[in-house]
Structure 1
Amino acid sequence: MRRRGSASIAANPVLIGAATILVIVVAVFLAYNANSGLPFVPTYSLKVNLPNAANLVKGNEVRVGGARVGLVDSIDPVNHPDGSVTARLSLKLETTIKPLPKDSTVLVRSKSALGLKYVEITKGTSKQGFADGATVPLGQATPKPVEFDEVLSTFDARTRAASRTNLKEFGTALAGRGTDLNQAIQSLNPALRNLVPVMRNLASPASKLARLFPALERTASETAPVAATQASLFVNLDTTFRALAQVARPYIQDSITGGVPAQDAAIRALPVQRPFLLNTQRFFADLRPGVRSLRTAAPILSSALVVGTGTLRRSVALNRRLKPTFEALRRFATDPMVSLGVNDLSNTAKILGPPIAFLKPTQTVCNYATLWFRNVSSLLSVGDTNGTGQRFIIVATPQGPNSEGGTSSQPANGPLKDNFLHTNPYPNTAAPGETQECEAGNETYIAGQKVIGNVPGNQGLTTETTKIDRSR
């Protein structure tokens, strides 16, 4: 038989209810203070300076490597002497990460698209760590976070309008070109295969490709002040290409198609044309003095062109009238007998060449043909009271042995001084192979001496009306 005072607590409904209420109150208290840390649990406190709290709120999580290691206890603004404002966070961290290396970095990141944030700590490798209650400097709040609203703000009205235009233009450009795209993709295989050594060369330190991008950055910074001018350039290019689009087919297309054969022909022909171009250059250099003289001759040339215009108009009728003449010349040229006659004339000219070359100085140097005709006319027109020069008189020859007037055994040779023969049947006339003199009619009479043939000495190239320049 059991005693009444020793009854179980479970049999007392009041005690059970009181215990349940106590458990609930403790659970609510712990849940309420969970964001501030559990009571009676040791923590590792740090302060962190950030350029911007980035919409953090008290109680946001602190994570290391994606694992929760603490929470944000408070957020306070910090005013600086230069007027700037930064944020200072008080963090309550688990003691498992104590001490945090001093080269660790801090970043505020988004936890969801709704704007919930958390603090991410990237642990460093330094052997020195932050003491409890220390402050992480502002310089270790890197990299600068990009907020989701900043990303969304890039798609403003102008950007959206430009994106629509790009989609429309690219769609128009690619429409109906499926076959061309397939051929391009098919051609990428050898291109990519050949791209491997190219990229290997670009990756080599000897290519100094790393300098390219800083140089591009400097170039961009220099071109930024003229961005408006460049924008107008693209607007003008759009106008130009719209105009070219009207003649793209077939004119530009044909020029591109024929460009390769034209270049091949140029490669073959230009080396051959180089001497001609060089001669042309020298020709125009030689023409410069004449072109300068054209300035004074321009009025005369202008009048000549005016007269020549009418002449050219009348030349059409002349060409028609000359047609029978040229047809006759063509028939004459095709006649086989003509070629025989031309050959005979050529042979005749070859045969007559040496005699004419021998006789030519008789006139061109000594002027004998002209003097002969002049003297012939004077013979019949010039005279005196007894008549003209064409008259007959008795000329008595000297008498004596071997004289010209009687029988002689040899040419007249004296003894009187006038009884000496002077004859020159072949006088020099400056012909090839002869002494350069005009001897006929210029011989000096040598008294008391027989002279047969050329007279001693050079009689010169002077005739009665001509005087030849010896320096020519």
Structure 2
Amino acid sequence: MRTRFQERPAAQQRGRGFMIALGLLGIGMTLVFVAIGFNAPNSIPGRGYYNLQAEFTDADNIAPHAQVRLGGKIVGQVLNPRVDDGKAVVDLQIDPKYKPLKSDSVVEVRPRSAVGVRYVDIRSGKSGEPLPEGATIPSSQTKATRALDEVLGTFDPETRVKTQQFLREFGKGMAARGEDLNETIGAAPDMLRGTDEVLGAIADRQDAAGNFVRGSAIAAASADPVREQIRLGFAPEAKALRPFSDRGDELRATLDAAPGTFSTMSSRLPSVDALVKETEGFAARMRPVLKAGPGAFGQTAALLREARPGLRDADATLRLADRAVIPTLELLDTTRPLLPQLESTLDNAKPTVERLGRYGCDFIEWGRRWTDALAWGNAQGGYLRFNVITPSPESVTGLEGAAAAIGATGTNRSPYPPPCTSNTETPSPTGGTVNATPEG
């Protein structure tokens, strides 16, 4: 009976040729990786680059693989620095995403530190032609910054010692002042341009520079014994300016908003001037009133003292009026629904009232005649007497009809005379009446 282990095929030994090929493959791959690693500082296989050349009249201490920066960012490296026809030439290997640079770009060798390490800084142009692959930036568009060690090399030993002391003290003064230092550096270009103009004016005058230096030395020597007093003298100013430093963001926001505010205020100044003039005139006219003010206030005080009893009595009246307010409001609420009908009634009565109003004098005359009639009473208390008269044309046709029927030439009366013309009609030739006053 076979077991599970007996069914498994026995392992076979590999041939010698296969083992040699496998070893050669391993050695080849190792050599490839070594070659890639050895050449990696210069280029990485499979990656593209934007290659340019730059010529310099002075590119001291620029070394292979030095950084190439554009706008403060590392965008490539320096390769193969060499001398060609008396000029320093370097290859610039740049990331292709910054391709192409313009022909008016400026290349500068700048120090990374005070110990001589350099890097290449590119200021990209804007109006030039695009630089193709392998193009050369001429020396007219390149420059190099003097390193600090070269500058210090021009000083004598005593000056270098003093410079070291100055730098140490300067470092202590700049401790924890990074933000202020950044702002100062940002403002430095404008300050240096102004300084250049001042120093240029000094240099144009003979012996002006020497006198300036000697005067500065004398001023510094004079101030040295009292430097502590000078420092303490600025303490109040520093304390006064501290709130502005602590509230720098708010002050900056205020200053940012100030131009627009001042512009708006400037456009409004004519209106403000007019207002000020009107206010000045008003103040001038108010001066007599204010002069009479004390006397008027005294009289008002006397009036209030005399009015005290009346005001005390008025308190009871106001209390009664207060109790009448609620019933009055309830009455108004009750009558409010009737106001539309009352308004309609008044509108309907308006023509009649207007007509009767024009006969006001006739109503007054009627009342006076009625009063005269009531004055003739008898002993039994009777006030009205009726006399029976013989029938006549007047009783049937009215005054105008009777006059026309009998041809009377006496005074005739109209049953509808104009306002205030009663008893003023004159007979007409035809027996009618003519109004003395036309109805108007």
Settle same-fold status: TM greater than 0.5.
Answer: no
Return the structure number with greater helix share.
Answer: 2
TM-score w.r.t. the length of structure 1 is 0.33
TM-score w.r.t. the length of structure 2 is 0.35
